[in-house]
Amino acid sequence: MNINETESRRLAMLQVCDSVFPVGAFALSNGMETFVQRDFLRRGADFEEYMKNYLEVAPYKEIGQMVLAGKYATDSRVSRKGLAERLIELDELASALQSAREIREGSERMCTRLVKLAEQMDAGQAQTSDGHRGFAKPSPADNATASAADSRENSIIAVHEHHTERHQLHDAADGLYGSPSLDLYAGLIRERRCRGLHSIAMGLYAADHANDVRDAAIMYGYSLLSALTMCAAKAIPLSQYAGQVALHDSFPRLVRAVNIAMTLKPEDLGISGAYLDIAAMQHEILYSRLYMS
């Protein structure tokens, strides 16, 4: 794998973990809003403690599910049929372990959106805001012009101080298109053999596009913490400065959480902070709510 492909794969994972990627992650507080209304989260120090507690159980929940899915899909010893069987088992287990209905249903909606967007990105036909496809069918003349332009662009000569380097743009595109593992999961969802969970879909997307599962899991974990930080900023309310400090201070614990997740087997999943789950369930009956969970 050349350096251009490596960086493109990193960018692909950053894109699906970005706050502007429209899957709805920032509409879910994962029960945090319950703690706010119970006056357990009132200032920055409280949120830092919440993040610490969240990362204690995250390896056995979302991050662990994501890592297992990614490891299954990157295991060269596993056939496509074998992968399907493992995904069905993991999907059943992860769904059963998610006791809060709102979080489970939110994860399913996020999975659906991720699958749809991945399919459109793979096809190079993402829908634009005005309802037109991103790429119109080119005419023969356009094809000839584009071919000549691509040839010139792919052969750009960059003159540096010590050497001349030929950049091939198609190298950077390797690994960006085609999501066989995620497509398999999407098929199982359509056949109603899987419910479809966002954490599992992210692991499969990572297997298809990221450089390695661990690196992708750290990005995924960061996206979870970033979403919680945004929720806290609005719900507590917490200043942006305090939120970013808490997020920054959580990085060592996030790396530790991913390292733990990399060692787990399916039977290790399910360890959780009971009150985190209870708070997520109580969210359904809060008097007023900003978030969907």
Global confidence as pTM: 0.81
User: Per-residue pLDDT tens for 241-260?
Assistant: 999 999 999 999 999 999 99
The yes-or-no verdict on residue 141 having pLDDT over 60 is no
Name which CATH class applies to 3-21+30-123+177-285. Answer: mainly alpha
CA distance 41 to 237: 9
Per-residue confidence (pLDDT) for residue 105, from 0 to 100 = 85
CA distance 63 to 71: 12
CA distance 225 to 243: 10
Report whether 63 contacts 258 (CB < 8 A): yes
Per-residue confidence (pLDDT) for residue 27, from 0 to 100 = 67
User: Per-residue pLDDT tens for 68-85?
Assistant: 999 999 999 999 999 999
The arithmetic mean of pLDDT across residues 94-105, rounded, is 84
The yes-or-no verdict on residue 138 having pLDDT over 60 is no
DSSP letters for 18-82: STTSSS-GGG--TTHHHHHHTTS--SHHHHHHHHHHHHHHGGGTHHHHHHHHHHHHH-TTS-HHH
Residue 287 pLDDT level (bands cut at 50, 70, 90): low
Q: Find where tokens 């493992």 sit.
A: 86
In percent, how much of the chain has pLDDT > 90?
47
3-state SS, residue 165: strand
CB-based burial, 145-156: b 16+ in 10 Å, e otherwise: eeeeeeeeeeee
Taking each continuous run of H as one helix and of E as one strand, the counts in the chain are 14, 2
Choice among 42-46, 126-130, 223-227 with the minimum mean pLDDT: 126-130
Sequence-separated (6 or more) residues with CB below 8 Å from residue 262: 67, 213, 214, 217
User: Per-residue pLDDT tens for 170-223?
Assistant: 555 556 788 999 999 999 999 999 999 999 999 999 999 999 999 999 999 999
Listed residue (224, 280, 233) closest to 253, CA to CA: 224
DSSP letters for 233-287: HHHTT--HHHHHHHHHHTHHHHHHHHHHHTT--GGGTT---HHHHHHHHHGGG-S
Indicate the Cα dihedral angle 275, 30, 208, 93, nearest 10°. Answer: 40
The pLDDT mean for the chain works out to 82
Domain ranges of the chain: 3-21+30-123+177-285
The alpha carbon of residue 48 and the mean position of all alpha carbons in its chain are separated, in whole angstroms, by: 23
Choice among 26-30, 121-125, 152-156 with the minimum mean pLDDT: 152-156
